[in-house]
Structure 1
C-alpha cells in the first residue's frame, strides 16, 4: 500500500519540476538568444514480483517442493532526468541599433553552432547567442549585463563610440578607423555546453572553444542591427504547461484516494478484530 504513496509522490515532484522549467521558458520568450529547455522524464527501475510457494506431491510420506512464480513487474515511480536546451536557430529581429549583433548559422555540422565570446565574472571565457550589446563609458563593447565582449584573440574590444560597422565576416570598424575581429567560438556539440545565468554557456571542463573562423564546414555570418529572438514556441509551451498541470493534478487525486484508504484501514478494519 505505502509503495503507491512513493510512486505518486515521485510523479508529482517530476511534474512540478517540469512546470518550473516550462515557466522559465515562457518568462524568457522575449529574451534575445534564449534557448528553450526540453525535459526528459525517466521511470525508476522496475521491480520484478515473484510469489514463493510450495507444491504438495502425493507420496506415502508426503513431499513438498518449493517453487516461485513470476507475477510481473511493478513500476516504482518517475523522475525528471535532465533539462536539455534546444539549440535550434531563433528568428532574427531587426532593431536598427548598431550595437545589436546577430549570428546566423548558414551551414553547420550536426549539433554544432557558433557563439559570441564574452568574459565571465571570474575572467574565464563564456559563450552566448544574445547579441544585445552596448558600449560602456570607457568605450568597451559589453553585454547588457556588463560582461566584456571579446575579440578573436580573447581581448576586450574598445571602440571610440557606438558608431561602428560590422562586416558579415566579423570585422568591427570603429569611428576612428580602428579595427578588431569579433570573437566567435565554435562548439562541435552544443549539447555538451553547460547553461549559466544571463543566457551564458560554458564548457564542461572549463577549456576554451576554438575560434569559428577556421573551422571547416562551419558557415555563418554576422548581421548588424539585428538580434536573434528566443526560440521558445509560446503556443507549444502553454500546451505543455497545461499538460504538466493536469498530470500533477491526476497524481494528487490518486494520493488523496490512498489517504482515504489508509484512513479507512485505521478507523474501521482495526475494529473488526
Structure 2
C-alpha cells in the first residue's frame, strides 16, 4: 500500500513541476528570441516482481519446495529530471527599430544546430542570446535590453555613438565607413547550453566551445536589422498541456486520498477490532 502512496505522490510532484515550466513558457510567450522549455517525465528505476509458490512433490515426506516465478517489472513513480530548451527557430516580426536584430537560420550542417549573438554579462563573462532587442547606452555602446554589452568578432563591446547605423545580412555593423562584424556563435548541440536568466545562455562545464558561425561549412544565416525573432512558444498548445498536467495532478491526488482513507481505516477500525 505504501508503495502505491509514494508512486502517486511522485506523480503529483512531477505534474506540479511540469506546470511551473509551462507557466514560465506562457509568461515569456512575447519575449523576443525566447526558447520554450520542455518537461519530459522520466520513471524511477524499475522493480522486478516475483511470485513465490509452493509445489507438491509426490514423496513420502510431502516435500513442498518454494519457487519464484517472474511476473514482470513495475515502475515506482515518475519525476521531471530537468527543463530542456527547444531551440527551434521562431518567426520574425518587423519593428522598424535600427537597434533590433534577428538571426534567420536558412540552413545548417547539423539538424539541431543553432546560432547566437555573443554578449558580455555583468561579471565580464561571455554569454549567448537569441534576443536581438538591443539598445544603445549612455556611452554609445550597443547593449541588450538588460544592459549587457553586445560583442564584436574580437570579443569587444561595439561602439555605435547612437542609433544611426546599418547592419548587413552577414551581421556586419556599418558605421561611418567602418565595418564591425558581430560575434555570431554556432553550436552543433545547443542542448549543451543552459539558461542563465535575463535571456542569456551559458555553456555547461564539460561542453565544447562555440564556433565562429562564419567559419562553419554549410551554415547559412541572415541577420535581419529592424526585425525581432518571436518566441517559439505555441500558446494554444501550452495551455492545453497545462490543463492536461492539472488533470493528471488531480487524478494522482485522488489516489493519494484513497490510500489515506484506507490507512485511516486500517489503523482506527481494523486495529480496534483486533
TM-score norm. by structure 2 comes to: 0.95
Q: CA deviation at 1:161?
A: 1.3
1:222-233 to structure 2, matched below 5 A, reads 222-233=223-234
Offset of residue 20 of structure 1:
0.2
SS in 2 for 1:185: strand
Which runs of structure 2 are paired with 1:80-99 in the superposition (5 Å)? Answer: 80-99=80-99
The alignment of Structure 1 onto Structure 2 pairs a total of residues equal to: 272
Equivalent runs, 1:109-124 vs 2, <5 Å: 109=109, 110-124=111-125
Deviations 1:58-97 (A, max 9, x none): 3223323221223433321111122211111101111100
Is 1:40 the counterpart of 2:40? The answer is yes
Partner of 2:129: 128
- Mark the runs of 5 or more structure 1 residues left unpaired by the alignment: none
**What is the alpha-carbon distance in structure 2 between the residues aligned to residue 51 and residue 272 of structure 1?**
31
Local SS of the residue matching 2:11: helix
Q: After the TM superposition, which residues 88-167 of structure 1 pair with which residues of structure 2 at under 5 Å, given as runs?
A: 88-109=88-109, 110-167=111-168
Counterpart Cα distance in 1 of 2:158 and 2:256: 58
Shift of 1:141: 0.3
Alignment-derived partner of residue 57 in structure 2: 57
C-alpha distance in 2 between matches for 1:116 and 1:268: 67
1:197 corresponds in structure 2 to 197
* Conserved? CA contact 1:159–1:178, under 8 Å: no
* Equivalent position of 1:171 in the other structure: 172
**Aligned-partner Cα distance in 1 for 2:225–2:241:** 35
CA distance in structure 2 between the partners assigned to 1:269 and 1:191 by the alignment: 54
Q: Secondary structure at the match of 2:270?
A: helix
74-83 or 29-38, larger mean C-alpha shift: 74-83
Q: Deviation of residue 103 (structure 1)?
A: 0.6
How much has 1:186 moved relative to structure 2? Answer: 0.8
d(CA) in 2 for partners of 1:74, 1:108:
42
Residue 208 of structure 1 and its aligned partner are, at CA, apart by 4.1
Give the match's secondary structure for 2:224.
Answer: strand
User: What RMSD in Å do the two structures reach over aligned CA positions?
Assistant: 1.4
In the alignment, what sits opposite 2:222? 221
Distance 1:147 1:113 in 2: 21
Which secondary structure does the structure 2 equivalent of 1:151 belong to? coil
Deviations 1:185-231 (A, max 9, x none): 11111112122111211122376422111211110011111110101
SS in 2 for 1:172: strand
TM-score by structure 1 length?
0.95
Deviates more, 1:73-82 or 1:258-267: 73-82
Distance in 2 (CA, whole Å) between partners of 1:68 and 1:223 is 68
Give the distance between the partners of 2:46 and 2:99, measured in 1 at CA. 55
Counterpart CA distance in 2 for 1:73 and 1:190 is 35
